[in-house]
Structures are given as C-alpha cells and as structure tokens.
Structure 1
C-alpha cells in the first residue's frame, strides 16, 4: 500500500538567544521542529553577534527539523529576524563587520543626523528614528570602515542570501528601520544623498511574501532543505509573531514576550506618533501593523536568576498574594517603548522580602510595562482595547499570562503553538493568497481577568508610573493618561 505524505512549509525564527525552525502542514499543524542556541556580546550600549553563528545555528535547527519531516515535500521556507539588526558585507555577501543587534545603541550622534536630514519624511511616516535603528547604525558602521565595496545587509537578507547562494533582496518589513519609505516603496534618495550613503550600499527591497529564489545546492547540503525549495521574503520577528497568533482583524493586537517585549496590532490607517516610539509596518494585505519594541522582558529573569528553577519560583510566587512591589525590568540600559530614555535603568519600587518576592516583582513589572504600552497606544488614538493574544516564550508561563490579563483587566488568548516560526510557515504556505483564508483557526486558551486582583495591581502599576515619571523618563502627558485611564 502506497503511503501519501502531505507537503510541509518551513518557518524559521532567528531570535536573540536561538534559531528555531518549524515545519507545518497545510492546516498549520506542526510536523517537526528544531532549534539551536545563539550567543552575543553585551557591554553597555554595545550588543553584537557573529553573522557566521547565525548561519551555523540556522543550519543546525533546519537539519534537526528536516530529520522529522520524513520525506514530505517541502513547498517553501520563509524566515524572520530581529528588527534593526544589520551588518556590512562585501559584494558576495561575506560579512566585513559584526552583526549589530536590534538594541545596540552606540549610534546616538548618527541618529540625530538621520532625524535632521529626513525631517519631512519622518513627519509624513509618523515616527522618529532612534539610535538602535538600522539607519543610524549603518552610518556608524560606514564611518568605521575604509572599504568602499560594502553593502548593507539586514540579518534577514544575509541569511536568505546564504540559503539561495547569492545576494537576495530584503523584505520591506526588515528595511523599515533602515529608512525605507513604505508609502512610496523606495529608498528616499534625497535623504541618503545628504547623509552621504551611496546607492550601491543599499539592497533591493520587495514586499513580504515575494519569492526570492530557490535553496542553493551548498545550502541544501548544510541545512537538509531540498535543493530548489522556494525561499519567500519574510517579515520582522514581531510581525511574524502577529501572523502566527492569527491576528489579522483590524483593532486586534499581539504581545510577544521573549527576551524583550514587542507589541503589534492591526489598523486600517497608520498611527502617527510624535515621539517616534510607535512605528507601523505594512501587512501583506495592505493594513498597517503599528507597534513598538520595549527593552523589558523575560531576558531579565536569566540575568537575575540564571541557573535557578524558574518553574519552582513561579509556583512559589503563585502561592503568595500580589503586592504593590514591582520592578521596571530592563534587559539592558535604555528604553525604546513606551517611552524613550537612553539613561533608563532597572528600578525596583518597594522592598522585596526575599528571592520569591523579587521574582514576582519582575513578573509584575513586565505586566505593568505592557499596560503602559497600551496606555500610550490609547493616547495616540489607536484602537487599543481590541482582542489581544499573547505569544513568545513568556506565554508558556500560565501564571504570568493570568497576571498579565489581571493587570490589563481584559481577556487574553494564548494560542497553542503560535510563535514567529509558525507565522513564517504561514506566510510561506499562503503562496500569495490572503493570510486569513489560509490560517484556519488554531487551538487557543482564553484567560479572563480576575476582578479581585484589580485593586492591588492597579495600585502597584500607578506607583511604578510615578517612579518612572519622578526619574524624568516618563513624559508628563503619558503619566496623566495612565492615571486617567486607570479610573475608566
């Protein structure tokens, strides 16, 4: 009897701490997964990784995944990467610089040059570039190299180039923080001339979902992905998580809790933010995807409790009632969203009694930061109260998810298996069709807020808001709005 295997599509998520590969069938059901760790170098504003390590980790994760595919036809592969992570490469795509990660903030002076050179553009697009964005970092890298045969590569197109075996275009989602004009769908030549960036440095840009080529023979040998498999232009990790969560309806939101916290939503119009902390990607269907990336997140747990049994700490924290003690748990110095403060650092409000209290304060702090993000989105006029899904590694902690629902005072959904890799598998599987038509309805759990927790958590939240404002980090307008919104 002949056995027929359904085809699969691969999604690859290149994160901060690991690369994950997922093979999913036409219903979105995972068939096989693989992962491989990544390491970087952090020192104050510096955060670098070795681009060759990205490729090695991708190849290892792909081989592990393909071992479980068992002869199924692979119809396509798409990948996402961290937003704003870039490098310089030669004309063959070989790196000539380290990879400057999404939160590397050494390009402060260059960021001001970018803002000044593109004032009209930034006003029209509704955001303001920051030191951690790709364009200021490109200027910083160019100033440090005597070579003139270099080109800008984002983490994504470096890796798709390795997969295809030649330099490829970058998707417009990853190109956004390098200054790509999503309205005109072109690089803003006048601004780049003023900044002294030659056109030859810039890659070609295509829309997410565009075929880039097929897996090359050398990459096929290293990754196990069959030679010729279509490689599809992807999106940034935050956008990929949004797709993986099944968030397609205007007014809905996805919150990704990984090393850091990333919020993305769906709106029919672009959200304009005078501070520039909220910026909008463009969805494949034409809607806008506003959101931002905070520097708080689960990464602080590894820094504070490395080697500890986090499951045991969670169980002990859950056995205690909530208090107003909290932290603003920055993973690295400086904050990017929901406010911009390069000198912001981790703070604790109140006095933890022991390690369990400290751990609980960090969990509450992330939930409070998330609430502050939604308060800021509401201040900007975004439809901030729509359906919300929680994804990322932090969403595997059910206690933390419930705490976030209680803090926000709204129901949250936790998809069974929705992560950036799943979003990229969906994008590859769509093959140009509307994503909502292809996605189906993946299993998910709904967590309703517990009204009994509202008073203590709101009290703790407002104390943290006051502490952030007193230190000069949180603008007065957002401080007032957070207080007013807490009484609604």
Structure 2
C-alpha cells in the first residue's frame, strides 16, 4: 500500500493505492488569504493540520496499516521562507500571487535568455520574482531567509526533517536550468539567493528520507517509513493517469488549468508562453500551456451567488442562449497565452433575461475558450493531442467536458476517478521510488469512465472570436489602477 499526499490550493488530499486500484481517499479544506491587492497566501501550518485531518479520516479505511511508502505532490511556484531554525518566517506566497510584476519585468531584462533556460519567461506568479519582491518589500524577512521551499517540499521537511526537492518542482521556480536539470546560479543571484538557500535536487522517484518519530505519531504511521520526493501537482497528475510517454496529453481542471503533453526533451517556446519543464520522472519533460483560472471561476460564481455548485451546473444545462453573456475568466490575471497579471474577470452582455443558469453557462464557455487559446499556442509550437485525458475537480462535470470537446474539436477522455490526479500520481511515485513497480507499468492507460465526442455547436463559432476581442478591448481598462 502506498500513501499519496497532495497539497492543493483549496484542499489537501490523501489517497491509498495498492498498486492496482485506489483503496481509500480523504480530503481537508484550505482557505486562501488575500491581505492586499494581488496577494495570495496560506499558512503552512494549515497545510500540516489538513494533512493530519485527512490522514485521520483515512485511518479507518482498508490498507492504512499496510502502507509501505509515502509520495508527495503539491501546488507549484510558491515560496515558503524558513529561518535558520527551520521556522516559517511569513505566510507562504502562492502560485497566483501577483505582487512581483515589476520584479518579473526586471528579471527578463537582467537575464537575457532566461525564458529558454528556465522554460518560460519570468512572470509574477513564479518563485524567483517573488523573492526579489520580498527583498524590496520585506527586506528583514529576506535577510532572515535561510531556506526557500515549495509546498510539498515543506511538507516533506515536516515528515522527514530534510531540505530536498526534485526536478519538476524546481522547474516551476525559474531557478532551474531545465536542460541541465540543475540550479541556475544567475537566476538565484537575481533573487538574492545562493544554492545554500534552496533544497538539494534529485529526481522525483528518489528517496527524501524516513518518516520521523514525531510525524509518525501525528499521522498514525510507523517511524522510518520511506518518503519519496514526488512531483509538482501538474506532473504528478500526469503520472496518475499514465501521461509519462512522449505525445500523451492531459487537461487538468483544478483551481488552475493545464493543457500538458509529455516529452523526452526540453523544447522551450517562450514567445508563446508555453512551459517547457522537467517532468518528475528521470530524464522526462513536459510541454504545457498553463492557465491561472481553471475551474476556479465556477466555484467563485457559486460563492458570489450564494448557490450550491451542482445546482448552478444543472441550471446551466437549460440556459437560454439568447440571454447568455460573455465572460472573461481572469480572476487572478492570466499566463498562457496573455502573460497578463493585470487581466481581470467580468461579464459582458447581461440582460433582464440573464439568470444564474445563463451566468454559469457563460463561465463554462469561458473556461473552454481559455483552453482553445491554450490549444492554439500548443499547435503553433508544432504540438497536438488526439484525445487528451481530463482530470481535476472540474472534470467531474459532463457539461464542462462536453463544452470543452465541442470547442477544442477533439475527443476528451475522463478516467475513472478523474479527480484523484496528483494524489494518485504521488502514490504511484512512492511505489516506483521503492522499486515496487516499474516505469513501464505507469504508462498503462487508465480505465476510461466516459468519452466526450465533439459536436457541431455554432454558438461557439460566433462566441469564441467575440471572447478574444473582449479581452483585447478591455486590456487597457483592466491595466489602469
């Protein structure tokens, strides 16, 4: 039995895998703080409390007492700053924290060619500009920072006591030379750091350490249990559904969104804001379009209207197209294809006939149109996918996936247990890390729960160009303070 732990943005997920099937799952919710405009933060101690809660819920399920290894996954691009004593110095800055806009522009100017080396041009959500922002905005905290970790690697520190990471997580910092699979000293120096302040690197299948007595006591597991480094959430999600061989593709609909293809080489295309990152598997790479706003706008609308999400999705099924507005989904700016942290969300075309169902239908359309932009960027780079697998919480909705298939013009396949993604990948990496399974076994296609075949929907032929024109028309308006 193998335990996968995933530190998401909205929840921590824990999963037990027996080498063939999932035996148990549990989750514990998380909240995001926005203390100032552009900020997005969480207290790492909340991650630990959520891990303990999820594991407590799993204890009564089959397989808990037979766990033989732990694998880790988590949200990428963050910054957990630790002092010399290992204590957290400030709340973790998350992947969608956009305060480092000036620093990302300065990094691009100071380090010509960094987009090709790091796999994507500097943008505010990445870790390197965040630390440069910290040096300017909170210099005392920056000076006190002895170690910078990502979410899952901080969890690893709590589990085994070591400062270690792996290639896929490092790939999302802008500090990794992707082709060399090693830290980039010039990028670290831009952030005011040295190699002594970042974790030791190895592949995602490498051991991180043994479970400490304190952690074992907190989780109800045996001390010394092997902890495997794992992978960033996008890459671990790919492992979970077998996207480990060149050409295989995946769409992830979590809080953020990714359109990802596995590759065997680093092939940067910074002009189109595609991410060419190291995979969490030895020698592997991915090519990815990354959107800051995946399924999150659906949850946002449900909160804003005070409605349950399943009720709104049901209402969207019968939405009146004559009163369905357009929606820009950029609640926290956007990466692919715009690279625009100032972009914001909004409805256009509201009328007296617009109700909650029409608004949710507009949000679903907008999510699909964002993935159409992503697919165009991949196609322009010479990349294509015949029938991507769809995972993440948003993939539970038939309406969402059918709309995506209609807009993208390709079939989408939803694996059984599509929302297990990164946690399942983490468990599989745990098995691979202790030699209980082979890399070739991870390539076995998952059981498919449903296939969504594209239909001819003339609505989108009219609405997609208008959606794109709406962003262009509002870009200057959104950029103003």
Distance in 2 separating the partners of 1:196 and 1:149: 10
Q: Is the 8 A contact 1:327 1:346 kept in 2?
A: yes
Number of aligned positions between the proteins: 461
Q: Which runs of 5+ in 2 are unaligned?
A: 477-481
Residue 297 of structure 1 is matched in structure 2 by: 294
Moved more, 57-66 or 294-303: 294-303
Distance 1:249 1:48, change over 3 A: same
| Residue equivalent to 1:139 | 132
Note the C-alpha offset of 1:392.
0.4
Per-residue CA shift, 1:279-321, capped at 9, x if unaligned?
A: 1222314232111321223222232222413222222321346
- How far is the alpha carbon of 1:86 from its aligned partner? 1.2
Matches within 5 A, 1:306-455: 306=303, 307-320=306-319, 325-332=325-332, 334-351=333-350, 353-381=354-382, 383-418=383-418, 419-431=421-433, 434-438=438-442, 440-453=444-457, 455=458
Q: Is the 8 A contact 1:16 1:259 kept in 2?
A: yes
Matched residue, 1:188? 184
Query: How has the CA–CA distance of structure 1 residues 416 and 371 changed in structure 2, closer, same or farther, with 3 Å as cutoff?
Result: same
**Is the alpha carbon distance of 1:450 and 1:150 closer, same or farther for their aligned partners in structure 2, counting shifts above 3 Å?**
closer
CA RMSD of aligned residues (A): 2.2
**Equivalent in the alignment of 1:269:** 265
Where does residue 25 of structure 2 map in the other structure? 33
Change (3 A) 1:228 1:406: same
Inter-partner Cα distance in structure 1 for 2:58 and 2:85: 28
Matches within 5 A, 1:100-139: 100-139=93-132
Structure 1 window deviating more from structure 2 (17-26 vs 126-135): it is 126-135
* Among 37, 59, 62, the residue aligned to 2:55: 62
The question of 1:173 aligning with 2:168 is answered yes
What does the per-residue CA deviation read over 1:97-116, in whole Å, with 9 as the maximum and x for residues that have no partner? 21000111111222233223
Name the CA shift for 1:452/1:295 in 2 (closer, same or farther; >3 Å).
same
Aligned position for 1:4: none
Contact 1:93 1:161 in 2 (8 A): no
Q: What secondary structure is seen at the aligned counterpart in 2 of 1:248?
A: coil
Match of residue 476 from structure 1: none
Unaligned runs of 5+ in 1: 1-7, 474-488
Would the alpha carbon gap of residues 308 and 411 (structure 1) be closer, same or farther in structure 2, given more than 3 Å must change? same
What residue in structure 2 maps to residue 94 of structure 1?
A: 87
Shift, 1:250, TM fit? 2.0
Partner of 2:37: 44
Whether the 8 Å contact between 1:88 and 1:141 is mirrored in structure 2 is no
Residue in 2 that maps onto 1:485? none
Structure 1 pair 23–191 and aligned structure 2 pair: CA distance change class (3 A): closer
466, 469, 473: which one pairs with 1:470? 473
Kept in 2, the 8 Å contact 1:349–1:463? The answer is no
- Aligned CA distance change for structure 1 residues 72 and 349 (closer, same or farther; 3 Å): same
More divergent stretch after superposition (464-473 vs 362-371): 464-473
- Partners of 1:378 and 1:21 in 2: CA distance: 35
Give the deviation of 1:468 after TM superposition. 1.9
Q: Is the 8 A contact 1:298 1:394 kept in 2?
A: yes
- What is the rounded CA distance, in whole Å, between the counterparts of 1:392 and 1:39 in structure 2? 18
| Closer/same/farther in 2, CA of residues 304 and 321 from structure 1, 3 Å limit | closer
Tell whether the 8 Å contact from 2:41 to 2:94 is kept in structure 1 after alignment. Answer: yes
Partners in 2 of 1:80 and 1:52 — Cα distance?
A: 17
SS of 1:233 mapped into structure 2:
strand
Closer, same or farther: CA 194–464 of 1 in aligned 2, 3 Å: closer
CA displacement 1:215-264 (0-9 Å, x = unmatched): 11100111123211110011111111111122233222211111221222
Residues 386-444 of structure 1: CA deviation (Å, up to 9, x unaligned): 33011100011112111111111111100111411111111111235643424544321
Aligned to 2:479: none
Counterpart secondary structure, 1:275: helix
Counterpart position of 2:200: 204
Q: Distance in 1 between matches of 2:364 and 2:335?
A: 19
Question: TM (normalized to structure 1)?
Answer: 0.89
1:14 alignment partner, one of 7, 31, 36: 7
Distance change >3 Å, CA 112–CA 317, structure 1 → 2: closer
Please point out which of 206, 221, 245 is paired with 2:241: 245
Counterparts of 1:168 and 1:145, CA distance in 2: 23
Q: Which runs of 4+ in 1 moved over 6 A?
A: none
2:176 is paired with a residue of what secondary structure? Answer: coil
**1:55 positional shift:** 0.9
Question: How far apart are the structure 1 equivalents of 2:404 and 2:428?
Answer: 27
TM-aligned CA deviation for residue 469 of structure 1: 2.6
